[in-house]
Amino acid sequence: MKQLRASGGVWIASQGIALHLDPGPGALVRALSSRPPLDPATLSGVILSHRHLDHANDVNVILEAMTQGATRVRGHLFLPSDALGEEPVVFRYLKEQLEGIHVLQEGGEYVIDSLRFATPLRHIHGVETYGFKFFFPQGIVSFITDTQFTEKLFAAYEGSDVLVVHTLRLERTDHPDLLHLSVPEVELLLLHIRPRLAILTHFGMTILRARPWEVADRLAEKCGLPVIAAYDGLVLDLATFSIQKRESPR
């Protein structure tokens, strides 16, 4: 809520397909102010890991942009069942403009054009939540989204070439009532899964105060693999597994 880090989510592009994962507060503004701009009208779909505001607040504005002001029927929406339930996060008129609405479930696999992804495990969180494994020609990129630690995560995300981990807490004892991963728990995940690259994101204040890049460096040394602390505008190029910077206007 302090917007010390952007909360607009993740833009995924592969083989002419573009998806927006977890369009939280500022998603549209961040996309259009990026250099070069990311145009929501080119999206093939939107994915929500769960209904919390920091992940879903801007879903309606992104859907409206994807459907060009709700004037065209196009695009797909993937989301948990409780995001459509008694207190839905998506407006009814926008649902009518979508080519398809797909309810996520544990062990599910989904295809949109040439892109395939899976939801291997329902996470332990305050609402229905899923992580993702995206199967690209260059390798598997997984997102371990908000969750309490469980050893089931090891098997669910094995085989990941890139692991993007939501890391909210510095220590296990920091706000143990929050169902989010801590740095020691991420260390266990990296030691078991052994990705080619790990990216930490979704930082709480304890990690921001500890300097995320230093936290990542310590994890890299302990686990013996590359670990990067995400920053606004980070771009992962799967052709080379290199990290680049997307510029914003000054």
Cα 35 to Cα 246: distance, rounded to the nearest angstrom: 6
Share of the chain above pLDDT 70, in %: 98
pLDDT value at 219 more than 50: yes
- 153-197 residue pLDDT tens: 999 999 999 999 999 999 999 988 999 999 999 999 999 999 999
Q: pTM of the predicted model, to two decimals? A: 0.95
61 CB-side CA count, 13 A: 16
Residue with tokens 């833009």: 11
Picking from 52, 51, 58, 53, the residue whose alpha carbon sits closest to that of residue 11 is 58
Cα 168 to Cα 125: distance, rounded to the nearest angstrom: 13
Residue with tokens 């070439």: 161
Mean pLDDT of the chain: 95
Q: With bands split at pLDDT 50, 70 and 90, how would you rate the model's confidence at 249?
A: very low
Is residue 106 classed as helix, strand or coil in its secondary structure? coil
- 57-76 residue pLDDT tens: 999 999 999 999 999 999 99
